[in-house]
Amino acid sequence: MNLDVPDGKDPIQYAWGELVPGIGPAAAHLSLAVYEHTTLGLREFEAARLRVAQLNGCAFCLDWRTERDGRKVEDGFADAVTEWRTTDAFDDRTRLAAEYAERYVLDHHGLDEEFWDRMTAHYTQREIVELSMCIGSWLAFGRLNRVLGLDTMCVVPRR
């Protein structure tokens, strides 16, 4: 489905704000909060975010790169995320972030004790909760944008 967005309106602002004013702004605040208040490192943050984007198929999310202090992940990082199981470009935390994102999206019932043992060896409980909230946000809102066709109406600002 492609949402009918009136001429001159920003698709995201229209859908998330004007159409559902009681829900959209709250969703937008959560969406922004995961970027503004994260304590996670850029590489693990982007590995999880990109893996969710790949699974959701959100064009906007796939094109986006998080920037922190003028830094972004290197070119080719998205390809490494696709190959998270075998790439030598990732440390344990980054690989686990990509794995967790994939399993969270595709098989959350399959998160077993073996996985949690590996996860808690590299992440604190606080970091696991934070990463879970981030992944949940990207899953929900990236999928919403993809399903409603908003992902192809929006363009990533170029700097």
In a domain, 6, yes or no: no
Is residue 155's pLDDT more than 60? no
State the burial class of residue 112 (Cβ atoms within 10 Å of its Cβ: 0-12, 13-18, 19+).
exposed
In a domain, 21, yes or no: no
> What's the CA gap between 129 and 104, in Å, rounded?
12
In a domain, 8, yes or no: no
**Percent of the chain having pLDDT more than 90?**
81
Q: How many domains does the chain have?
A: 1
AA identity, residue 103: R
CB of 25 within 8 A of CB of 17?
yes
In a domain, 141, yes or no: yes
Mean pLDDT of 88-99: 98
In a domain, 83, yes or no: yes
In a domain, 101, yes or no: yes
Mean pLDDT of 62-67: 93
- DSSP for the chain reads ------TTS-HHHIIIIIS-TTTHHHHHHHHHHHHHS--S-HHHHHHHHHHHHHHHT-HHHHH----BTTB-PPTTHHHHHHTTTT-SS--HHHHHHHHHHHHHHH-GGG--HHHHHHHHHHS-HHHHHHHHHHHHHHHHHHHHHHHTTHHHH--PPP-
- Predicted confidence band of residue 105 (pLDDT cuts 50, 70, 90): very high
Mean pLDDT of 47-75: 95
Predicted TM-score (pTM) of this structure: 0.91
In a domain, 13, yes or no: no
| Per-residue pLDDT at 158 | 46
**In degrees rounded to 5, what are phi and psi of residue 79?**
-65, -40
| Per-residue pLDDT at 100 | 98
Which CATH number does the domain housing residue 88 bear? 1.20.1290.10
Mean pLDDT of 70-89: 97
In a domain, 29, yes or no: no
**Percent of the chain having pLDDT more than 70?**
96
Domain that holds residue 69: 41-148
